[in-house]
Amino acid sequence: MISRSTIDRVFESARVEEVIGEFVQLKKSGSNFKGLSPFVDEKSPSFMVSPVKQIWKDFSTGKGGNAISFLMEHEHYSYPEAIKWLAKKYNIEIEETEQTSEEKAQMNERESMFMVSNYAKDYFHDIMLNTNKGKAIGLSYFKERGFRDDTIKTFELGYCLDEWDGFTKAALKKGYDLKYLASTGLTIVKETKQFDRFKGRVMFPIHSMSGRILGFGGRILTADKKAAKYLNSPESDIYHKSKILYGLYQAKKEIAKQDNCYLVEGYTDVISFHQSGVENVVASSGTALTPDQIRLVNRLTKNITVLFDGDAAGIRASIRGIDLILEQGMNVKVVQFPDGEDPDSFAKSHSTTELKTYLEESSKDFIEFKVSLLLKESNNDPVKKAGVIRDIVTSISKIPDGIQREVYVQECARIMDISERVLFSELAQLLKKGIQDRNKINRKQNNSQQDPNEPPAEYFANKEKAPMGLVKGKTAAEKIDQLSILEKEIIRILLLFGNEEAEFLEEIENEDEEGRITVTQRKYNNNVSAEIYLHLQEDETEFTNVIFQEIYTEVIYQLNQYEKLEIDALVNHKNSDISSTVTSIIMDEEKHQLSDWEGQNIEVKGALDILPKLVSDAVFNLRRVLIGKKIEDLIKEGSQDAAIDLETIKSYTGLKIRLFEKLNRVV
């Protein structure tokens, strides 16, 4: 167990914008920060972080919370793991007891796989640095490649002894379950035998964006032609090759800082660049580039520079990845190294200044690169040249931004010496076909989800054609939802303005001797939270929404204990439902900043200006709906008993009419 004092120190030290900034590129937006959602694919920012309130919200998915909840959502950490990650980041010593064998056994499978992978990383690293065989074989290989000690430590490189089960025996002796050694692919189990997958290989641990070990790449050091030169961990619950970029953990800060990401193919390309001072570099690890990999980079920058070897043999196939990058709304540039050179060799044979200068001066726009590459293949053949133009326009059609597409069409027309009109015509056809293809896919998906016993959605499109009872009147679900909306408004006002003081009006009815009633008004000051509490207490109101009721109970408890509302206690509440709901409501107030309304001179009126009306309207609306529900219940009960209480119903109806008058609404 982690001590309460440690947890408190973590909460005091952690800055939500710093934590999330490790995973998402954030840009200043008023008093907040905004960025692309790390949970879904999107082109416009819907993710917002509030440094003042120390909370975040993703408006695309509705998720939100504090620094802890972000790590739990994004990295799938347990609560203790999130605390440990933050403690490490802020150099806070953790007080906890050692896990027993029983506690290790109770860990879920995914977490157990992470534990095994982390142990393997430490084991391989230690073997290489502190054993004779490790130093003579593994360490000497990396030294021959020119890697310094600090680089080896940064990438946590290692070596697996050339023994059938050296690692497996060591892991079992430490108490790790063979089941997880097998599920991570570290150990191959066959009947009664088990042996190390990476025997005799130097090891490249593959990190997640937060630094967790997902899998390994291993390079063989012998000249065995039957064995693969590089061997990766097999796909598992924690390792998905198509969703990982090697080196992203080490590169993420520099990618955001430089606002550019260099994309290479291999592990050593990344390590050599990093050692040479170009740290904003990642590798696809020899796989064809995937949309998931591109989206990882998209969280940190909109700019990717793809680096190609001097050997042009594989370039034609590799440039297909450029279209995928363009589809994600990113900017693409290309650098090709001289013949016989690759990123690794070039970085080793040139100084840092020379490397950076070459990257800057050799960087080409994707159109310029494609033209120079494809025109060489066309050999001035008009038919092949037309094919080159179509290929380039196809790439342009992938760009989601219309203005950017037009600029690229103009550039292509200039380079290829062809009229813009022809290119725009070709582009229009490609865009139209793309829309048609997407519509076909959507229709197929919708049809596959349609219940054959239900009429199609179009049947209900016109209310007049809908079956009796389906449109007329409100369903029970709609009425409950209306109550939930009004209850949420009460909670929203409490969370945002609970500690504010406002001037309220009280209506006092006076009856004279002749029975005439006059209404006078009295002004008084009160805290918003106290005012709402008095009204709800008077009505003996309980929320129908369970979470809203729990939040309200917490608010009342705080008012009784501390005479004010402590929002931090709700945001960091141990009940994750309370925490996420409170965060979501608070951050909804900041949503307008995503549209930069202030920058467009659109005034956002402050709620403080109309706070008394806001409170009274919320309370009166809730009363109105509850009274309406009470009248319906009385009518229903009376119809069953054949004796409707008309006097009581008349009294409630009178109250409802007065509430409508106060709300300035027409009955």
pLDDT in tens, 141-181: 999 999 999 999 999 999 999 999 999 999 999 999 999 99
The gap from C-alpha 447 to its chain's centroid, in whole angstroms, comes to 30
- Tell me the pTM: 0.67
Predicted confidence band at 218 (pLDDT cuts at 50, 70, 90)? very high
The whole-number pLDDT of residue 8 equals: 85
Predicted confidence band at 555 (pLDDT cuts at 50, 70, 90)? confident
Q: Which two tokens stand for residue 499?
A: 């500690």
Q: Which residue has the higher pLDDT, 604 or 624?
A: 624
Mean pLDDT of 84-96: 88
- For the stretch 24-60, pLDDT in tens is 999 998 889 999 998 888 888 989 999 888 899 988 8
Cα–Cα distance, 326 to 394 (Å, whole number) = 11
Query: Are 618 and 486 a contacting pair, CB within 8 Å?
Result: yes
CATH-assigned architecture of domain 248-428 = 3-Layer(aba) Sandwich (3.40)
Cα–Cα distance, 192 to 569 (Å, whole number) = 54
Low-confidence winner among 72-81, 209-218, 222-231 (lowest mean pLDDT): 72-81
Report phi then psi at 620, rounded to 5: -65, -40
- For the stretch 434-486, pLDDT in tens is 787 777 776 665 565 544 444 444 433 333 333 333 334 454 444 557 788 88
Query: Are 530 and 538 a contacting pair, CB within 8 Å?
Result: no
Measured between alpha carbons, how far is residue 406 from residues 386, 402, 409, 466 in Å? 19, 6, 5, 46
Low-confidence winner among 235-239, 270-274, 477-481 (lowest mean pLDDT): 477-481
CA dihedral in degrees (162, 164, 170, 175; nearest 10)?
150
Q: What's the chain's average pLDDT?
A: 82
CB proximity list for 150: less than 8 A, separation 6 or greater: none
Q: Which residue has the higher pLDDT, 100 or 147?
A: 147
653: left (phi over 0), alpha (psi -120 to 50) or beta: alpha
Q: Which two tokens stand for residue 437?
A: 């293809």
Sole residue written with tokens 């416009």: 44
pLDDT at 346 over 80: yes
- In 107-198, which residue ranges form alpha helices assigned H by DSSP? 109-130, 132-133, 140-144, 149-154, 166-173, 178-183
**Domain definitions of the chain by residue range:** 4-89, 107-239, 248-428, 476-590+605-662
The whole-number pLDDT of residue 444 equals: 67
Cα–Cα distance, 598 to 173 (Å, whole number) = 63
Cα–Cα distance, 427 to 402 (Å, whole number) = 11
pLDDT at 21 over 60: yes
Predicted confidence band at 203 (pLDDT cuts at 50, 70, 90)? very high
Class of domain 107-239: alpha beta
Kindly provide the residue ranges of all beta strands, DSSP E only, lying in 44-84, ordered along the sequence: 47-50, 55-58, 64-65
Mean pLDDT of 623-637: 72
The whole-number pLDDT of residue 656 equals: 57
The gap from C-alpha 261 to its chain's centroid, in whole angstroms, comes to 19
CATH code that applies to domain 4-89: 3.90.580.10
The whole-number pLDDT of residue 319 equals: 74
Mean pLDDT of 554-578: 83
Sole residue written with tokens 């494809």: 374
Q: Which residue has the higher pLDDT, 425 or 517?
A: 425
What are residue 231's DSSP bridge partners? 218
The whole-number pLDDT of residue 311 equals: 65
pLDDT at 372 over 60: yes
Query: Is-same-fold flag (4-89; 248-428)?
Result: no
Helices and strands, counts by H and E, the chain? 29, 18
pLDDT at 392 over 60: yes
